[in-house]
């Protein structure tokens, strides 16, 4: 297995910025990605059959990148469940999906990791390989089900038809640090 490069960030100064040559420190791993949409309803259909559906809640597209691990999944789920995108009595976005007991529809989507910086065709090199992506998505779903009452999912690797009614619209791109 190829080792990640390491970097010395231990003693930068005003005159000597961090170097990229020492094995003393490592750069943090990239985050998992979630694109969440507040919905009044959402569903996923595979081969003409509805495999996951919710009423009011969050439809979340989830993507793992190459260096992601369970820690990134845990961090993302913690943020997702606490993220305040639902209105309180004063009309401010001050309530989470947990607070409103809304549904979660989790849909795997590796294309969120696309590198679109050059050319006219996206590169999916940053995305986790399929086996790692599936493992992390399954882990993310299992953790979500252990912490939230209503969790539905799409199907990893399937040709899915996702439909939703976006409420607002309210859409956020979440990454953990």
To the query of whether residue 109 is one of the catalytic residues in this protein, the response is yes
Residues 13 and 59 in one domain: no
Catalytic residue from among 109, 135, 143, 153: 109
Catalytic residue from among 86, 110, 137, 156: 110
DSSP string, 82-128: H-EEEE-TTSSEEEETTTTT-EEEEEE-GGGG-B-SSSSS-B-TTBP
Residues 132 and 75 in one domain: yes
Residues 13 and 56 in one domain: no
Taking the complete model, does pTM exceed 0.95, yes or no? Answer: no
Residues 10 and 64 in one domain: no
Number of domains in the chain: 2
Strand partners, 43: 53, 163
| Residue pair 62/68 in contact by the 8 Å Cβ criterion | no
- Its domain, for residue 17, covers 1-27
Residues 109 and 89 in one domain: yes
Residue 132: give its domain's CATH number.
3.50.80.10
- Per-residue pLDDT at 68: 86
Catalytic residue from among 26, 50, 101, 111: 111
Residues 78 and 47 in one domain: yes
- pLDDT tens for the chain, 177 residues: list them: 545 444 444 444 444 444 444 444 454 555 789 999 999 999 999 999 999 999 999 999 999 988 888 999 999 999 999 999 999 999 999 999 999 999 999 999 988 888 889 899 998 888 888 889 999 999 999 999 999 999 999 999 999 999 999 999 999 999 876
Residues 167 and 100 in one domain: yes
- Per-residue pLDDT at 35: 96
Residues 3 and 46 in one domain: no
């Amino acid at each position: 297995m190829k080792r990640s490069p390491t970097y010395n960030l231990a003693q930068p100064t005003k005159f000597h910025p961090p170097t990229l040559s020492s094995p003393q420190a490592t750069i943090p791993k990239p985050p998992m990605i979630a694109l969440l949409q507040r919905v009044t309803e959402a569903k996923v259909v595979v081969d003409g059959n509805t495999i996951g559906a919710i009423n009011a809640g969050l439809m979340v597209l989830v993507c793992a990148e190459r260096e992601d691990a369970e820690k990134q999944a845990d961090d993302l789920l913690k943020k997702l469940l606490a993220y305040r995108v639902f209105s309180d009595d004063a009309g401010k976005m001050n309530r989470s999906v947990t607070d409103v007991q809304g549904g979660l529809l989790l849909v795997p989507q590796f294309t969120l990791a696309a590198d679109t910086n050059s050319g006219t065709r996206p590169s999916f090199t940053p995305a986790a390989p399929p086996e790692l992506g599936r493992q992390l998505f399954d882990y993310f779903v299992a953790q979500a089900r252990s912490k939230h009452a209503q969790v539905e999912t799409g199907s990893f690797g399937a040709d899915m038809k996702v439909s939703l009614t976006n409420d607002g619209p309210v859409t956020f791109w979440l990454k953990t640090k």
